[in-house]
Each structure stands twice: as C-alpha cells, then as structure tokens.
Structure 1
Amino acid sequence: MRVDSRKLVIAMFDSGLNQKQLAELSNVSRATINSIKNGRSCSDETGHKIAKALNMPIEKLLGK
C-alpha cells in the first residue's frame, strides 16, 4: 500500500500528533511511521492502523 507522505504529514499536523504519538496510537513502530513519511510503502494492515489512529478513512491517505 502506498500512503502519500504529504497527506500523512498534513493529517498528523491537523491531528496535533508527532511521529511518536502516532506510532503509539496506531501500534506501529516509529521507524515504520518515519519510513512511510519518507515515501516507502507499507502493508495494508499498517495503513489501516494509521488511518484509524488519525480518525480518517484510508482512502484519504492513499497516493496515486
């Protein structure tokens, strides 16, 4: 799954979360959050965990 890093950063800002906080809320490692922010892909499960922690549908985070 390809999460758009720009959309992720905006969603984190809007939610008032930093990488550590998002990692804790989504039960994903901070290294994984950092990798996604740097443009790497992630598993579907990880993408859904992050979207749920940000309280938004996964479709709003997906890239092209």
Structure 2
Amino acid sequence: MRIDRVKLIAEMARQNVSINELSEKACISRCTLSALRGGKSCTENTVKRVAAALGVSVGDLKED
C-alpha cells in the first residue's frame, strides 16, 4: 500500500508536526516515516497508524 507523499507532507505541514513527533505518535520508526515521505510502499497497519496519529482517515492519505 502506498501513501500519497504529497498529501502526507502537506498534512504534516498543516498540523505543524515534525517527523520525530509523528513517528512517536504513530509508534513507527523515523526511518519508516522518512521512507513514506519519499514515496515508498508500506503495510496497511503502518498507514492506519500514521492516519490515526494525524487524525485523518486512511483514504485522505492513500494515492488516488
């Protein structure tokens, strides 16, 4: 599964949250979050954790 990197980066900027803060909230490593921001694929569980940490739906972050 892929997260739309532009949507992720935009949502992080909108909420003024750093990679460190989001990785702690989502309980994923900074390395994993950096890979997501770079457009790499990930597991569905990771997408759910990131979306929950940002307070958005999975659909808001998925690629169209």
Give the aligned partner of residue 37 of structure 1: 37
TM-score with structure 1 setting the length: 0.97
Residues 2-59 of structure 1: CA deviation (Å, up to 9, x unaligned): 1000000001011110100000000000000000011101100000000000000000
Alignment pair present for 1:3 and 2:3? yes
Measure the CA separation in 1 of the matches of 2:17 and 2:42. 20
User: Structure 2 unaligned runs (5+)?
Assistant: none
Once superposed, what is the RMSD of the aligned Cα atoms?
A: 0.6
List gaps (5 residues or longer) in structure 1.
none
Separation in 1 of the partners of 2:11 and 2:48? Answer: 14
Give the distance between the partners of 1:28 and 1:14, measured in 2 at CA.
20
When normalised by structure 2's length, the TM-score is 0.97
